[in-house]
Amino acid sequence: MKLAAVIQARYSSTRLPGKVLMQAQGKPLLGFLIERLRLSRKVRTLILATSDQPEDDALEAFCTEQNLLCYRGSLKNVARRFHEACQHFQLDAFVRVNADSPLIDPRLLDRAVDLFEQEAPDVVTNIQNRTFPKGESVEMVKVPAFQRALSGMSKPEHFEHVTAYFYERPELFKILNFTSGGAYNDIRLTVDTRDDFLTFTSILQQMTRPHWEYGWKDLLPLYKEVAARPQTI
């Protein structure tokens, strides 16, 4: 099976433009994500899927610097961009990762792949019934199933949110959801707003070892400590 993590990224974020290349401790946000993803045991290929617009030239340059595969396609039709990336790199399956998840736990990718190999579903996900923190989202999708979903997509949200159609029409697909064993869906380890970025940098400041040594559960006390005090710009 030819598998890759496909990272969804664009520079022109609505709420926090340029966030994926914002610097923290001398490193862009994407740099943290890539360092963590490269620790996955099961996913050895990383592809950044960005738009073909000039503002995303900087992301292609980042890929060149990081020896990272890059695919550029439609800005608005993200589902089509993903499909084209899958075709270009001849993938059998992909793990979708958002670029605004700099603290993602690579072991969650490994868990998704293990479940995929054991159960052979169309989709393995941890967001259908979300119990993990935001920023720890993982979805593994079989490419033939994605092609079937693409043919049924008709709404703007289907094309913007790559996997939305699966959850809207679950009767058409075999979907396997895995949970955290708790309820952590109110915790934000994602970077979608200025406040999120401040939380992220504050979490980094509390770390006493390299960031990639912190799994998602290790991050919870750091997050709670930061959340308990007021944020300042």
For residues 199-228, average pLDDT: 97
pLDDT tens track for 106-154: 999 999 999 999 999 999 999 999 999 999 999 999 999 999 999 999 9
Q: How far is CA 85 from CA 65, 79, 126, 151, 228, in A?
A: 20, 10, 23, 16, 42
pTM, 2 dp:
0.95
pLDDT tens track for 152-162: 999 999 999 99
Dist. CA 1–CA 212, nearest whole Å: 27
Give one word for 25, left, alpha or beta, with left for phi > 0 and alpha for psi -120 to 50: left
pLDDT for the residue 231:
60
- Domains of the chain and CATH, by start: 3-227 (3.90.550.10)
For residues 174-194, average pLDDT: 97
